[in-house]
Structure 1
Amino acid sequence: MYSGLLIILIPLCIGYVLPRQGLRTLKVVNRLLSAMVYVILFFMGISLAFLDDLSTNLMLIAGYVLVFSLCILCMNYLALLWLDKRLPWPSSGHAQPPTSRWRMALDSFRLCMVVAVGFGLGLTGWHWLGEASRASEICLILLLLLVGIQLRNSGMTLWQIILNRRGVFIAAVVAVSSLAGGAAAALILGLPVNTGLAMASAFGWYSLSAILMTDAFGPVIGSTAFFNDLLRELAAIVLIPALMRRQRSTGLGLCGATSMDFTLPVLQRSGGIDVVPTAIVHGFLLSLLAPILIALFSV
């Protein structure tokens, strides 16, 4: 029953307890992580093509994505607005010119294209493509090992996390409100609540949620998780510049786990350099929570 949990936690912990690596090794780790994202999404596309009654399932996925995205983002937004009122975060006034959101949106489009290519290949029905699920499990183990190494070398100490109270508060609000939104979506769709909680636990980390949710609940839920988390990232890219002017906690919180990597440049440009430490703490905590919560809700 707990084999899935061990598959997730063991490589993550091994990567985290390894000694800190040099700059050259970290560059290799980062490149491998970027490559693994594309490989995992490619295999997910292949698995999606092997679904029975494909057209019906695609419509089902679209409906699931719509409901989960709306419920989770709305819950996040309302909870973060409350936090902004209770704990105001004044702007430093050091914002930079906005970064190219079109370029970042193009990166997200590329990810969708990788899924589409895998899907197209899977439609050929070649028998050897049936091994895609086994290959994705191997990729998952490697991905989590690399993530553990990356978290270990992020430079974040326990003391730094504790001192950055705002980052901890925002991460806590995002985590709780996301779980509430996931549970609400599951009830609306007639799905088990634990499925909704697992869906909400990725906090925007689409490469992780895609493979974990596919392994635990099948390609329909796995594909829903991917597009749900990808939509979160796209929404954050669009909303950050406007929200960071007056509702900085909301702008940061909507980024979820991506605030320590993908959306960090947008946050820095829109909110100033003082946003960066809080964004890294926030993203670090959610990245650490995501695989653990998904595994717990999937058993």
Structure 2
Amino acid sequence: MKGSLIIVSFFIVGIILGMTDLLPIDIQNSQWSFYTLCALMFSVGISVGNNPESINRFHTLNPGLLLLPVMTILGTLTGCLVVSFLLPERSMSECMAVGSGFGYYSLSSIFITEYKGAELGILALISNIGREVITLLFAPLMVRWFGNLAPISAGGATTMDTTLPIITRCCGKEYAIVSIFHGFIVDFSVPFLVTLFCSVNF
């Protein structure tokens, strides 16, 4: 939990610095976040690669884990469908479009803004950032209460990048490959599902 709070604290500090223009503009508009993410992935890769037992354990995992991203997608969309009944001002398709971001806030909010307007795009941004932050904050509790797969499913598309370190720490290195596979499949589905639900109206 302490590690999650530190990560979120850095996120909040970043927001404050961005809002107050304390950083030079060239730094704000550069690719620093991309390079930092690459370095993070490189570090996790080294950590997993230094422990060959992690790869061996993956072969012993239940093949049913390959269905985890499918269940994450279906579970999220079902939840969005239920929530749509509590938000009469929003259609089912709009709620499911927002949920189809699966934490991939940068891409999904752009798509939704283009198709449905800035208001729903901002809602998608906040919703998907919230999914990531909740995973970062509560991953240890999810493991304790619901098992090692819970934070992976909760992380959605972020489990192959931003939430991978906390998942690896809380669930164990043997779940890193499952987390990356899960994130890749869910991530891949985002542009298709968001576009689909933005194109229909029900």
Q: Is 2:98–2:108's contact at 8 Å kept on the other side of the alignment?
A: yes
Match in the other structure for 2:4: 101
Matches within 5 A, 1:220-239: 220-239=119-138
Structure 1 residues 112, 199: closer, same or farther in 2, change over 3 A?
farther
Q: Where does 1:148-159 land on structure 2 (aligned, <5 Å)? A: none
Determine the C-alpha separation between the residues in 2 that align with 1:248 and 1:114: 35
| Residue aligning to 2:195 | 295
Name the SS of the counterpart of 1:202 in structure 2.
coil
Q: CA separation in 2, counterparts of 1:298 and 1:263?
A: 27
How far is 1:184 from its partner? 2.0
C-alpha change, 1:167 and 1:215, in structure 2 (3 Å) is farther
TM-score of the pair, normalised by structure 2: 0.70
Counterpart residue number, 1:259: 159
What is the rounded CA distance, in whole Å, between the counterparts of 1:285 and 1:248 in structure 2? 19
* Alpha-carbon offset, residue 238 of structure 1: 1.5
Residue 184 in structure 1 maps to residue 87 in structure 2: no
What is the rounded CA distance, in whole Å, between the counterparts of 1:107 and 1:212 in structure 2?
27
Following TM superposition, by how much is the alpha carbon of 1:187 offset from its aligned partner in structure 2, in angstroms? 2.6
**CA displacement, residues 26-50 of structure 1 (integer Å, 9 cap, x when unaligned):** xxxxxxxxxxxxxxxxxxxxxxxxx
The aligned residue for residue 172 of structure 1 is: 70
Where do 1:72-151 residues align within 5 Å?
Answer: 100-109=3-12, 112-113=15-16
Q: Quickly say closer, same or farther: Cα 1:186–1:264, change in 2 above 3 A.
A: same
* Larger Rg belongs to: 1
Is the aligned partner of 1:199 residue 2:102? no
Paired letter, 1:297: F
Please give the per-residue CA displacement for 1:103-161, whole angstroms capped at 9, x wherever unaligned: 3203432565588579xxxxxxxxxxxxxxxxxxxxxxxxxxxxxxxxxxxxxxxxx9x
Separation of aligned partners in 2, 1:200 and 1:260? 18
4+ residue stretches of structure 1 with deviation over 3 A? Answer: 110-118, 163-167
Aligned residues: 161
TM superposition shift of 1:212: 1.2
2:25 is matched with none
1:243 Cα offset (Å): 2.3
Name the structure 2 match of 1:240. Answer: 139
Unaligned 5+ runs, structure 1: 1-97, 119-159
Q: Give the aligned partner of residue 89 of structure 1.
A: none
Matched to 1:174, the amino acid is T
Deviations 1:179-210 (A, max 9, x none): 11212222321222111111110111111122
Structure 2, unaligned runs of 5 or more:
22-57
How has the CA–CA distance of structure 1 residues 113 and 282 changed in structure 2, closer, same or farther, with 3 Å as cutoff?
same
Cα distance in 2 for residues equivalent to 1:283 and 1:189: 29
Which amino acid in structure 2 is aligned with residue 178 of structure 1?
Answer: T
Q: Tell me: CA distance 1:228–1:112, structure 2 relative to 1, closer, same or farther (3 Å).
A: farther
CA contact (8 A) 1:186 1:196 kept: yes
